[in-house]
Amino acid sequence: MVKVLKYMAVLVILIIIIVLIMNFYVIFKTKKQILESVEKDDIDCILVLGAGVRNGKPTDMLADRLLTAIDLYNNKVAHKIIMSGDHSKKDYDEVNIMKAYAIEKGVPSSDIFMDHAGFSSYESIYRAKEIFEAKKIVIVTQKYHLYRSLYIANKLGIEAYGVSADLRKYIGQSYREVREILARDKDFVKCIFKPKSTYMGEVIPVNGDGDITNDKDI
């Protein structure tokens, strides 16, 4: 029994070491792609990753991602924005709320694309490439989430840069930081196999008119 417990303890330690190694590898490989300001040519689009909505409004984290993306757009970093989030149910719609928020801040509707099937970071970035034909992007999310997002983009063959949307302190951030370690490991493995997104659909080039992605009057 003692030997079994020792073997189990060793196994647990090895698993923890592997988890931490993958986590730090993802951070190390992408940290230089996180920029304070973007001075790159020919950026196809700004990709905003969803972060939840409540009572018809973006959460604080999502609002900060949107404000950061709008600022980048106004500074002509890119002429198009992809709002990617969860619209899997009629009564839960991140992307229309994200687009409406940007329109209220002065971004033309035609410059805003909605990815209604961005159910995860991996799927949002996969679809940015395969559906919207984006090859060079700026990803906007909070810094803790940028490492994983940029790693996914790198492995999918997208030239990507990240801009942090940390405009305030967020409740529950310590929990998110811990959970993100496992999320990085999960997507590290997923990027080895590169599965297709849950939903694909017709190609919608991001250099066109974003209103083609509208599913209701904006």
Q: Element (H or E) spanning 129, and its range?
A: helix 121-130
**Residue 205: what are its φ and ψ, rounded to 5°?**
-55, 130
Ranges under pLDDT 50 in the chain = none
Q: What is the CA radius of gyration of the chain?
A: 18
Going by their DSSP bridges, the two strands 57-58 and 53-54 should be labelled as antiparallel
89 Ramachandran zone, left/alpha/beta (phi>0; psi -120 to 50): beta
For residues 124 and 84, the answer to whether their CB atoms sit within 8 Å is yes
Q: Is the CA virtual torsion 202, 203, 208, 209 positive or negative?
A: positive
The whole-angstrom separation of Cα 87 and Cα 83 is: 11
pLDDT of residue 155: 98
pLDDT tens per residue across span 80-133: 999 999 998 888 899 999 999 999 999 999 999 999 999 999 999 999 999 999
